[in-house]
Amino acid sequence: MLTTYAHIDLAALVHNLTQIRRYLSGNAAVLAVIKANAYGHGAEEMAKTLVRHGVSHLGVVSVTEGRALRESGITTDIIVLGPTFDEQLPDALHSRLTLVVGDRPRLTALARAAAEKGLSVPVHLKVETGMGRLGFSVDEMPVVLDSLRNHSSLRVEGLMTHLSDADGKTSDYTEQQLATFHQTLELLAARGLHPPLIHAANSAAIVRYPTSHFSLVRPGIMLYGYHTLPGSVPAPSLKPVMTLRTTIAHLRTVKPETSISYNRTFVAARPSTIAVLPIGYADGYSRRLSNRGAVLIHGQRAPIVGTICMDMTMVDVTDIPAAQVGDQVIIIGHQGRDTIGADEIAEWTATIPYEVLCGIGPRVPRIYGS
């Protein structure tokens, strides 16, 4: 019996992919972002489902993530979006991973590593247009492009950037980033370079900025059923892919003035029934939810009481008299007429749904179905 587990709805994933495709301009294709274990959903299963439904490219953050997908049998193009170190280049080449490069030393190292193996490998150049993180500046691009003439082992397959404020309240900064990106494309064209894969759009930009679609878009959070669009922007109809469930392990009746959990942060004000749940911060259920969050039992909200422990959480079920040991509890998901989403948990903990989903730890089994 699994007492705590995440149910991953593959049909919901496919639904979200279909919704995303409805926004695409021209011949833009999907580069599905499955980094961070597919935002906590399980990269291998997400990849296989997405590929079966026509996704041509997968995005990961590291050589380690890409190699694991290759070892699981994934043959689709895999693009490593994050930084790569020289020591990882042999692994990357062996695993047929396409690297994103945004600095000259790494470009030279990749060219050398490929040449030593007699290979001509694709590379995506990253341009820093306003994220302030990785990528070549526009000013250094002419030197970078000229240096490529000396690197016959590299083929510029792609050019990319990352939009830092696509889900912001105003569009000015994103438009500025896109203008800078277009300037870089013109630099390439002037040198006779026309990479087939141009990409800039993340989930929010797919919806808000059709001019950012180019040849690939990079949906991440929207694949998994959430978005961070401002309220003024009509959102796509998405279905959360993950439902996080646990089970009532114990019921305790307590008198007024009884304290619950560490440091007596909750003291009962009335005769109460407290349910103990076998999930805690070691499973990724944030301690910041202590005395703040809620779960669903019999379709009703049961508030968290006391400090969330490493392995257990206590909730007040006094107003849910039907609650029994063994009853299913919804941590993230729908029950009855109510829903607690990762976005609501994010509001309770002053974060974003990305962190909530990515935080569900490996101790929680993922069960796949439709």
Q: Could you give the count of Cα atoms lying within 13 Å of 167 in the half-sphere of its Cβ? A: 14
| Residues 284 and 361: beta-carbon distance below 8 Å | yes
The amino acid present at 1, given as its one-letter code, is M
CB distance 41 to 252 below 8 Å: no
Question: Alpha helices of 95-222 — where are they, by DSSP H?
Answer: 104-116, 141-147, 172-190, 203-208
List the catalytic residues: 35, 262
> What is the Cα–Cα distance from 278 to 18, expressed in whole angstroms?
36
* 46 assigned ligand-binding residue: no
**How many other C-beta atoms are found inside a 10 Å radius of the C-beta of residue 216?**
23
Do 58 and 50 meet the contact criterion of CB atoms below 8 Å apart?
yes
Our measurement of the distance from residue 219's CA atom to the centroid of its chain's CA atoms, rounded to an integer in Å, reads 9
How many degrees, rounded to 5, is the angle at CA 202 between CA 199 and CA 208?
A: 105
Residue 219 DSSP SS3:
coil
Two structure tokens written together for 27: 């011949």
C-beta of residue 338 within 8 angstroms of C-beta of residue 301: yes
* C-alpha distances in Å from residue 136, one per residue of 41, 104, 218: 32, 8, 20
List Cβ neighbours of 322 (8 Å cut-off, separation of 6 or more): 298
| Interior angle at CA 320, CA 316 and CA 322, nearest 5 | 125
Residue type, 181: F
Looking up tokens 């994934």 gives 74
Residue 310 among known ligand-binding residues: yes
User: Where is the binding site, in residues?
Assistant: 133, 310
User: Where is the binding site for substrate, in residues?
Assistant: 133, 310
